[in-house]
Amino acid sequence: MQTTNQSARADFMSMTLPELTEYVAGLGEKPYRAAQLFSWMAKGAPLEEMTNLPAAFRKKLAQEGDYRLPVIGEKLVSAIDGTVKYLCAMNDGECVETVFMRYEHGTSVCVSSQAGCAMGCRFCASTLRGKARNLTASEILGQAAAAARDTGERVDGIVLMGIGEPLDNYDNVIRFLRLVSAPEGMGIGLRHISLSTCGLVPRIYDLAQEGLPVTLSVSLHASDDETRSALMPINRRWPIAELLEACRAYFGKTGRRVSFEYTLIGGENDGIRDAARLAEVLKKGMRAPCHVNLIRLNEVRETGLNAPERERANDFMKELTSRGINATIRRRLGSDINASCGQLRLKKLAETEEKT
């Protein structure tokens, strides 16, 4: 059982049901208690609310275990579309962002996988201060549970698109996927979960082997290596051709259509020639169905990069579709609440520094 916290006490919210059953047995309790506890934790309930568990058992859990739910520090509600953004504080004070979104076809929670990020993408707020640490499986699950509890709504889907690079915290993220999809817990179907990566190629091959049919979403953002390497340092290690080969393998193994994210940045990657080249690169590299999500840059002051006009984004999309590539421009939810991920954490870090 791995925990990234230094504590020797068991992080039992990170345990799968079979592991929890064993743990509970070690505390002298019957196996069915594990299922009860598991289901409470998936609801983000504190121990004192778990009233169908004996008080003595709960006391033991509090003493022997390490059960710490994220605490909602800040909450912003969009007046435009009802999107809710949370700043969730972990036990050691690290803060990450979690977003609850409502779509026509259901609700979805965007969770963070790391406090900060080490990937260094030029346009992204989450990486500006580097990576503080990985989140544990329970800390990722805790965000989804906290959002469900706070809104009182059922969560239909999950996107791993918050702060951090999920495949750079591989073991904890895989564990989280197993926990969040367990029917005794939140019970979210793996087909309703998307994992977004900047392209850690060996880990994409690993993920394909896990038997977890999640949607792989790949942050591409450029159609040639020179542009992509300038925007995303990871491309120097694994260039576009190798990345697309891994995506193709992912599709081959899982049968899941891969989707690509392409953030349009004014003057960097948003020309018609970029669109034409993107279509060709995808056709040649994937030889399989795929989808491109176009996103107009959420401007982050520190980066000095700008979003293109809507019209330019439309032209980009038309060029892609005319060349046979499925593409949509993603609607920006919560545009009035600083919804570009990583900015709230950044603000919090700056405020904390001012105080000390």
Known active-site residue 97: yes
**Considering Cα of 309, then 310, then 312, then 317, what sign does the dihedral take?**
positive
User: In the bound complex, what is the minimum distance in angstroms from residue 355's beta carbon to ligand SAH?
Assistant: 27
Stretch of 58-66, 172-180, 266-274, 297-305 contacting ligand SAH, by CB under 6 A: 297-305
Written as six digits, the tokens of 331 are 């609607």
Does residue 198 interact with ligand SAH by CB under 6 A? Answer: yes
Known active-site residue 242: no
Binds ligand SAH (CB under 6 A): choice among 40, 67, 86, 123: 123
**Residues that contact ligand SAH, how many (by CB under 6 A):** 17
Identified catalytic residue from 97, 139, 268, 319: 97
Residue ranges in 182-260 assigned as alpha helix (H)? 201-208, 225-231, 234-237, 240-254
User: In the bound complex, what is the minimum distance in angstroms from residue 266's beta carbon to ligand SAH?
Assistant: 12
Residues 219-238 that bind ligand SAH (CB under 6 A): 219
What is the 3 state secondary structure string of 116-170? ECCCCCCCCHHHCCCEEEECCHHHHHHHHHHHHHHHCCCCCEEEECCCCCHHHHH
b/e 90-102 (16+ beta carbons within 10 angstroms → b): bbeebbbbbbbbb
> Strands (DSSP E) along the chain, which ranges?
71-77, 84-89, 95-103, 106-110, 114-116, 131-134, 157-160, 193-197, 215-219, 258-264, 290-296, 327-329
Binds ligand SAH (CB under 6 A): choice among 197, 215, 223, 269: 197
Does residue 297 interact with ligand SAH by CB under 6 A? Answer: yes
Binds ligand SAH (CB under 6 A): choice among 10, 109, 115, 295: 295
Does residue 341 interact with ligand SAH by CB under 6 A? Answer: yes
Nearest CB to ligand SAH, comparing residues 165 and 274:
165
| Residues making contact with ligand SAH (CB under 6 A) | 121, 123-124, 161, 165, 196-198, 219, 261, 263, 295, 297-298, 300, 340-341
The residues that are catalytic are 97, 341
